[in-house]
Amino acid sequence: MGDDHGVAAGGVARELLPVAAAQVATASGTEVAFEVDHMDDATRQGWSVLAVGEVVGVTDAAAMQRLDAIAYSLPWAGGDRTHWMTVTPTRITGRRVVQP
């Protein structure tokens, strides 16, 4: 996975802007959906995955340091991401996209 998200400790982790972190703190413990997808224009193929589960803000400094270590690229939208959230999936669905 690229950008500002990754898989860690059985869940999906994502870096957040400070303003979004406040929203996650309010939503902590609720069910959310996290979608990631990719489409290759040259091959006209791609995939999409949707994970649904409980969201929790990451506050442990050691856990945030481990997550920072797996975030190997920068988010395309820019901005400093200083907070992390995790989604522990209870349901995962996905599909491959193949164009003739």
Question: Tokens standing for 8?
Answer: 């860690």
Around Cβ 32, how many Cβ atoms within 10 Å?
Answer: 13
Q: CATH number of the domain that 39 lies in?
A: 2.30.110.10
Nearest-angstrom CA–CA distance, 54 and 57: 10
How many structural domains is the chain composed of?
1
Residues 6 or more apart from 33 whose CB is under 8 A from it? 50, 51, 52
Low-confidence ranges of the chain (pLDDT < 50): 1-3
Q: Return the sign of the alpha-carbon dihedral for residues 13, 82, 26, 20.
A: negative
User: Which of 16, 24, 23, 48 is closest to 35 using CA atoms?
Assistant: 48
pTM equals 0.69
What is the domain range of residue 75?
5-98
